[in-house]
Structure 1
Amino acid sequence: MGIKSKFKNFFFDDEEEEYLEEYMEDPKEETETARSSKKLTPNKHNVVSLQSIQKSSKMVLLEPKMYAEAQDIADHLKSHRAVVVNLQRISKDQAKRIVDFLSGTVYAIGGDIQRVGTDIFLCTPDNIEVSGNITDFIQED
């Protein structure tokens, strides 16, 4: 057991000392952001204010007229905004291409895409949860 503990102490004690030296902060060099985060989190836990998230939640209503506008829709999704896309005034081929593009975008950001009406889709990023299902009311052509 003596060799095992010497071996363990040789490798693990050095790493702990380096770890403590790297992450010890000088209280004189405290930045303003560190002070403001201490005000928000007095118990030093990772706490995020939900008010800031709720204020930034927006929904965008779009009616693209051509496939080139699909990238604008994707940019809204990447900015954590929900998007309702109305594809009723575009050709079926263009609408299919847009839905395919948005499906890939939503998959990449971990969001969701749902059909909410005839040629109307709701695309949501990962920070927005949609509950319920209305596909029973949609009549397929």
Structure 2
Amino acid sequence: MSLKNKIKSLFTFEEEEYEYYEEESVEPEPSPEELQRNTDPQNVVRLESVKSTSKVVLCEPKDYESAQEIADNLKNRRAVVINLQRTDHHQAKRIVDFLSGTVYAIGGNIQKLGQHTFLCAPDNVDVSGSISELVDEDLK
């Protein structure tokens, strides 16, 4: 053997000395649920699943005890229109004070729509615009 071949054999590997094995990975078959999840993109929402959940509740409380029912509607993310025409002035003031605190706590807003009418809206309802109070001096 020549010196050249000896040096070459030191730096090269002979293929006969090494055996190569390829491992085959066995993947379990996906279940039908996984197949369905893989075919439906995660960011697509079906229109059938989207329902209108916004509701407006009309209330005409007679006394202060009705304020808790109105507050429960606000906590359930429903806008409430309150007509206080048939409520005693003192009771109406207490109701508006209680509902103002409730609306503040849930991050909503309260607006006066008329002389005895209020709109209480939770944070998921956007209220735009305002209603100006009419002042007729001819009627006074």
TM-score calculated relative to the size of structure 2: 0.63
2: CA distance, partners of 1:95 / 1:40: 49
Partner Cα distance (1:76, 1:39) in 2: 35
For the structure 1 residues 39 and 138, does the alpha-carbon distance in structure 2 shift closer, same or farther, using more than 3 Å as the test? Answer: farther
Paired residues of 1:113 and 1:123 also in contact (CA < 8 A): yes
Superposition map of 1:1-141 within 5 A: 35=37, 39-41=41-43, 52=50, 55-137=52-134
SS at match of 2:73: helix
- Quick one: structure 1 residues 138 and 72, their matched pair in 2 at CA, closer, same or farther if it must change by over 3 Å? farther
- Structure 2 spans left out of the alignment, 5+ residues: 1-29
Alpha-carbon distance in structure 2 between the residues aligned to 1:98 and 1:66: 8
Query: For this pair of structures, how many residues does the alignment match?
Result: 104
Task: Name the CA distance, whole Å, in 2 between partners of 1:62 and 1:71.
Answer: 12
Instruction: Provide the alpha-carbon RMSD of the alignment.
Output: 3.1
Distance 1:55 1:96 in 2: 33
User: TM-score, normalized by length of structure 1?
Assistant: 0.63
Runs of 4+ with >4 A deviation: none
1:41 and 1:113 map into 2 onto residues whose CA distance is 35
Distance 1:40 1:57 in 2: 25
- Given that 2:114 and 2:133 are in contact with CA atoms closer than 8 Å, whether structure 1 keeps it comes out as no
Q: How far apart in 2 are the matches of 1:72 and 1:102?
A: 10
User: Aligned partners of 1:112 and 1:40: how far apart in 2?
Assistant: 35
Rg larger for: 2
Higher helix share: 1
